[in-house]
Amino acid sequence: TRRGLAEELAALEGAQYGRYKSLVGRWALPDGCTLELVRGQADPYAPPARIAVHMPAELAGFPRELWETATRRRALASYLARGADRAVRGEKALRVDAGGQEVLDRSSCSVDGRDGSVTLRLGAALPGHGRRIDGREAQRLLTRVLPDAAGRALRYGALDAEAVRRFVHTVEDSVALRDALPGLGLVGFVADGAVLPRRSGVDDRPARDSGVVPFASPPELRVTVELPHAGTVTGMGVPEGVNLVVGGGFHGKSTLLRALETGIWDHVPDDGRERVVSRSETVKLRAEDGRRVERVDVHAFVDHLPDGSDTADFSTENASGSTSQAASLCEAVEAGAKVLLIDEDTAATNLMIRDARMQALVAKDREPLTPLVDSIRSLHRDHGVSTVLVMGGSGDYLEIADRVLMMDAYRPSDVTKRAREIASVPTGRRAEAESFPGVVPRVPLPASLDAEVRGRPRIRARGEDVLSFGDHEVDLRAVEQISDPRQVTGIGLALELAVRRGHLDGERTLAAGLDLLEEELTTGALLSVRDEDFAVPRRFEVASALNRVRGLRMRRG
């Protein structure tokens, strides 16, 4: 029988740092857990080693009801990762990726659906005296601190059972609420009492000052839903169709839209948005001048460019605000979006509106842009794509909106009737398009999506904004529904997986490839990547990243 981990570490005291690698493998700990050194650390300045702690089911002791569905396992694992993070907080060498306000599938913690055993994965900066192994400190860290933290954070008996249950039930209610939306003809729901504003632009926790106005639904849009745990919940249902949010500046329009944006994810208890949900096929759009576009049919919005380029098969290395937003819209629909969110604060005005006076001054044949106001009805009617637009600055949408919601001092009211009356007085504006023609499917060419640098995949995230993917630097600043820096790594891994598994094989359309990838995102291959912290993205974030790879080549399908 081989020596235990503690003895091995003691024996390595003072050895060359690289010898840590000789410990890669599984080690039984006295308390019944298994510690696995998944990946060693080459030198003290290299990325931390990767360690997994396996807590067997009989030790973990979680009742089956807490882990019998995938949703409950995700919630439980998220709760456990947060506790583990707190348990090792004092130890600078240990890093648990616990996540923020969203409850995502992530690699740091998982609960096994067969028996309820728990695996925690974390980074550990292995201790050294310079380039020599500090065996004594490593022994303390790996055979005492870590098992002790696991014992406190990953066992049911050591936890506040009520808090665990509340966390799991909150997530399950959120999923139930989201799943109920299509049957209710809704694209989103905001519960009465929800707290939408955040503490600051860089702090996603709920605002807590006394001026916070809890959400209160207008009677016309009030919907009642039965949830498995919370019971009867009322709130505002956002219906399918074209929804317009109006109101004065600073009255809470963007805050409401942002809550819907992040309603694709589940939130932790007391976030304030636990019962704010949107359909999982919801995509936020914005203008993004400078982005690249590869062979998108944008002619519904852009035509007769002065340089004569073909906008039905449009490519550019440097899109304008309006063409970037038009391309992003078409790409979102191509990827399967059913709900589009647009905020005037980040939209290209000339793609949104062109009023009667401007129509009179600039003839249509001198204006390449056809504003969204003329195809937005068709998007819903002919393509089943709903919209929620924040638009406080132009009344042209009043005529075509199915619903107009006014935010007034953070309180919404339904002003649809009044908007109709106002819109019944003609402005003289003429529609410039009959319908949205749909998107032309594209086939990504996998050779242009190479993740490898010198024979090895290179996938790195720089915050929430940049993904290094092979030789490519993908700018994700405009992909606003990424909710966690680790999701950027998840996007890179998903993209690499889609190519490696042949989902994007140069024959299949992007949409078909995403269908195949989607299955792997939560249940399959992606979560088996074990040596890296990442969180699972949606197909839409993966598609958005792909569309922003500078060297990407597409074929028209």
Q: CB atoms < 10 A from the CB of 508, how many?
A: 20
Exposed/middle/buried for residue 166 (C-beta within 10 Å: 0-12, 13-18, 19+): middle
d(CA 279, CA 453): 38
Residue 254 binding Mg ion, by CB under 5 A:
yes
CB atoms within 10 A of CB 18: 14
- Window of 128-136, 143-151, 243-251, 397-405 that interacts with ligand ADP by CB under 6 A: 243-251
Show the binding pattern over residues 176-215: x = contacts ligand ADP (CB under 6 A), - = does not. Answer: --------------------xx-------------xxx--
Q: Is 325 in the site for ligand ADP (CB under 6 A)?
A: no
Give the number of C-alpha atoms closer than 13 A to the C-alpha of residue 480, restricted to the C-beta side. 22
Nearer to Mg ion, 110 or 254 (CB): 254
- Residue 410 binds to ligand ADP (criterion: CB under 6 A): yes
To ligand ADP, the closest distance from the beta carbon of 196 in angstroms equals: 5
**Least distance CB 253 / Mg ion (angstroms):** 5
- What is the pairing mode between strands 339-343 and 282-285? parallel
**Running DSSP on this structure, what letter comes out for residue 299?**
T
Burial class from Cβ neighbours inside 10 Å (0-12, 13-18, 19+) for residue 138 reads buried
Min dist. Cβ of residue 530 to ligand ADP (A)? 39
Give the CB-nearest residue to Mg ion.
254
* 345 forms part of the interface with Mg ion (CB under 5 A): yes
**Which H or E run includes 423?**
helix 416-423
Q: Residue for token digits 């098992």? A: 147
- 255 binds ligand ADP per the rule CB under 6 A: yes
Distance CA 117, CA 112 (A): 5
User: With respect to Mg ion, which residue has the nearer C-beta, 390 or 527?
Assistant: 390
- Number of residues in contact with ligand ADP under rule CB under 6 A: 15
- Residue 154 CA to residue 332 CA, distance in Å, equals 40
- Token readout for 381 is 């009617």
Cβ 389 to Mg ion, closest distance in Å?
A: 12
Dihedral of the alpha carbons of 388, 394, 397, 399, in degrees to the nearest 10: 140
Give the number of C-alpha atoms closer than 13 A to the C-alpha of residue 288, restricted to the C-beta side.
24
Which listed option, ligand ADP, Mg ion, none, makes contact with residue 410 (CB within 5 to 8 Å by class)? ligand ADP
- Give the residue, chosen from 147, 252, 492, 537, that forms a contact with ligand ADP under the rule CB under 6 A: 252
Question: Which span (133-141, 242-250, 352-360, 516-524) binds ligand ADP, by CB under 6 A?
Answer: 242-250
Question: At closest approach, how far in Å is the CB of 250 from ligand ADP?
Answer: 4
Interacting stretch for ligand ADP, rule CB under 6 A, among 38-46, 252-260, 283-291, 297-305?
252-260
Any contact of residue 244 with ligand ADP (CB under 6 A)?
no
Contact 52, 26 (CB under 8 A): no
231, 249, 308, 455: which one binds ligand ADP (CB under 6 A): 249
**Contact footprint for Mg ion (CB under 5 A):** 254, 345
Question: Site residues (CB under 6 A) for ligand ADP?
Answer: 196-197, 211-213, 247, 249-255, 407, 410
